[in-house]
């Protein structure tokens, strides 16, 4: 048994959009940086190398990786932007390794051999994924102890509740997860690919459809023509990759979304919203754009995915949109898959979390829709932290609390257990 009382554990939450890392016991992660990395192919600069997608470490030995906001914020010729995840599942462990390395050695400045490690994981994580994470942590980082905890359980923990229905609308997806006495009811988990990034892409396409061009910051600079008079000058970097341009545009579109979007009170109707006042937003290049009905239409996609079909450029998603359910329906479907005895409690303890949970009026709309669609006897209550940090980092905060508890210390999967029993033991130690 590992005695973890001497030093603070490290808590890492590698989400689909950002990676959060910090010390257990603290109230916010020390490091927050993108979960995507820059990659420059070292063997064939023209990028014609044949990448075998079946190789789970396709970037190993072939690419130089750039991790963190600072590295990604600096444009480089031929630098692609890659994600280690696909549909929420790790497909490139080499990238994950580099992200962990960046978090531990460059952000937190710790030696992982000296500290137990708590990793947050998605509810859909497979046994194989868990074992791979354990192997990497014990073999490469030589951690003294490890624990894997599910995102929803940690969010529930952060709110001080052992039982709840966690609605996590993050960057890459939205999931609805019932948590009972600190454990996920796996059969009732409902997931949707519509998350913050999807909404950002919809907004970007919609603006482009109206003739608005979002210029990546690296494609221009401002020159002072006369004192106090700045002029935007185009810069030409022909070797900038498409994925890097898209990444840069998404950062800006995401900010537009956060500044101007608001969840409508009721289902979005084109006729009702076509005449609403526009809201101005200044792009980094100085261009001022006016955002109108998109302010309400984009957030409503969470409730009515069919709206995607009306956005030019989103054709690839239009075909699957009919099969995706809106948020209230996901919630009701999840609860209906649970035991009848706990449904009432779940309806009355719905925790809204994730970056997209910060959308204005989202909680109110969910509550309203649920009151209309839920059983008569259900007392619907949606909780969302009033603190933006807690909303965004609830998974990490839950991990920080959990790893600090005295009663948790006996639960660590120790290095000696790993060496004696192997990686598959993770399934028993961290059920």
Partner 1 sequence: MSWQTYVDDHLMCDIDGTGHHLSSSAIIGQDGSVWAQSSSFPQIKSDEINGIMKDFDEPGHLAPTGLHLAGTKYMVIQGEPGAVIRGKKGSGGITIKKTGQALVFGIYDEPVTPGQCNMVVERLGDYLVDQGL
Give the interface with partner 1 as residue ranges (CB under 8 A).
Answer: 1, 127, 180-188, 337-342, 407, 410-411, 427-431
* Cα–Cα distance, 122 to 36 (Å, whole number): 17
Toward partner 1, which CB reaches closer, 121 or 168? 121
Q: How far is the CB of 115 from partner 1 (least distance, A)?
A: 20
Q: How far is the CB of 351 from partner 1 (least distance, A)?
A: 18
Q: How far is the CB of 374 from partner 1 (least distance, A)?
A: 18
Toward partner 1, which CB reaches closer, 39 or 143? 143
Toward partner 1, which CB reaches closer, 147 or 198? 147
Q: How far is the CB of 43 from partner 1 (least distance, A)?
A: 41
Toward partner 1, which CB reaches closer, 31 or 426? 426
Q: How far is the CB of 276 from partner 1 (least distance, A)?
A: 44
Q: How far is the CB of 122 from partner 1 (least distance, A)?
A: 13
Toward partner 1, which CB reaches closer, 183 or 273? 183
Toward partner 1, which CB reaches closer, 187 or 271? 187
Q: How far is the CB of 183 from partner 1 (least distance, A)?
A: 4
Toward partner 1, which CB reaches closer, 56 or 410? 410
């Amino acid at each position: 048994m590992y005695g973890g009382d001497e030093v603070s554990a490290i808590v890492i939450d590698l989400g689909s959009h950002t990676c959060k890392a910090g010390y257990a016991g603290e109230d916010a992660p020390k490091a927050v940086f993108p979960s995507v990395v820059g990659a420059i192919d070292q063997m064939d600069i023209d990028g014609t190398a044949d990448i075998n997608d079946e190789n789970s470490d396709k970037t190993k030995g072939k690419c130089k990786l750039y991790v963190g906001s600072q590295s990604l914020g600096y444009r480089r010729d031929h630098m692609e932007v890659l994600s280690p995840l696909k549909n929420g599942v790790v497909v490139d462990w080499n990238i994950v390794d580099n992200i962990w390395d960046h978090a531990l050695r460059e952000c937190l400045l710790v030696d992982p051999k000296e500290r137990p490690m708590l990793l947050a994981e998605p509810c859909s994580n497979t046994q194989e994924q868990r074992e791979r994470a354990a192997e990497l942590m014990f073999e490469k980082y030589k951690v003294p102890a490890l624990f894997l905890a599910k995102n929803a359980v940690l969010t529930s923990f952060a709110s001080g509740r052992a039982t709840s229905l966690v609605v996590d609308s993050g960057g890459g997806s939205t999931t609805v997860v019932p948590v009972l006495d600190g454990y996920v009811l796996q059969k009732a988990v409902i997931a949707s690919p519509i998350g913050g990034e999807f909404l950002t892409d919809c907004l970007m396409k919609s603006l482009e459809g109206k003739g608005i061009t979002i210029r990546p910051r690296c494609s221009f600079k401002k020159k002072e023509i006369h004192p106090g008079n700045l002029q935007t000058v185009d810069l030409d970097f022909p070797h900038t990759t498409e994925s890097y341009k898209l990444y840069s545009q998404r950062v800006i579109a995401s900010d537009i979304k956060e500044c101007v979007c608001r969840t409508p009170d009721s289902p979005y109707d084109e006729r009702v919203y076509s005449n609403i006042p526009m809201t101005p937003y200044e792009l980094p290049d100085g261009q001022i754009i006016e955002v109108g009905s998109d302010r309400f239409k984009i957030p409503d996609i969470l409730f009515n995915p069919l709206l995607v079909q009306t956005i030019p450029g989103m054709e690839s998603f239009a075909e699957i949109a009919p099969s995706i359910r809106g948020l209230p329906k996901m919630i009701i479907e999840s609860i209906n898959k649970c035991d009848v005895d706990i449904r009432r409690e779940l309806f009355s303890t719905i925790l809204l979390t994730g970056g997209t949970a910060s959308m204005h009026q989202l909680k109110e709309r969910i509550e309203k829709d649920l009151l209309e669609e839920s059983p008569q006897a259900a007392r619907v209550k949606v909780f969302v932290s009033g603190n933006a940090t807690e909303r965004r980092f609830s998974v990490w905060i839950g991990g920080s609390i959990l790893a600090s508890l005295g009663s948790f210390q006996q639960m660590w999967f120790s290095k000696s257990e790993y060496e004696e029993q192997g990686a598959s033991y993770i399934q028993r130690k961290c059920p």
